[in-house]
Structure 1
């Protein structure tokens, strides 16, 4: 049940991030996605969000989780970009953009996690002093 609840959260976060990046991309290139493209991009975003459940596995080292997540995300991205736009070249030429986006999102979530850990530790320290 734990993974189901977290999976739903990760799914919606993935769709949110994917929607933002897709909207930004289409806006920058002044394009309009078809319904099929939109549905494929949102499906890709949902799957990519679910792949983040790999970070919840306690029996894997963080570096292994990170490398596995990056590879799975890149494969998902490549596959769905190929399905969406019908060209492998588009997926291949967008790999640098994917890597940059991945690093930015990773840093933001990592900083958020560290800030949450500091906040929780501070509250625990306050309770211990009481």
Structure 2
């Protein structure tokens, strides 16, 4: 019986290496999200907002029909982060609410991203 158990024992060095790899792999996504929040926000914007607001925030044909504002405009850029958070969370006019689809961190990053559209594209 003792010989059978020895066959299934894992060498200590192999166990330490496996645990180290597990820690490294599980820490990777968190570290990436902290170092590149704009990439996450850009992806969220592309998947949730660009259909109406366009990739650069200027709007699309659908957005124009739905009266979606140009996110680069002074009117939008002058809004406080709190006001933009409320619009994204609760919706406004034809824009749906995203408070039930995005968490608070995603919404905050999206607000920060919208504010960069002014500097990237210039306000109109």
TM-score by length of 2: 0.32
Decide which structure has the larger Cα Rg and report it: 2
The structure with the largest helix share of the pair is: 1
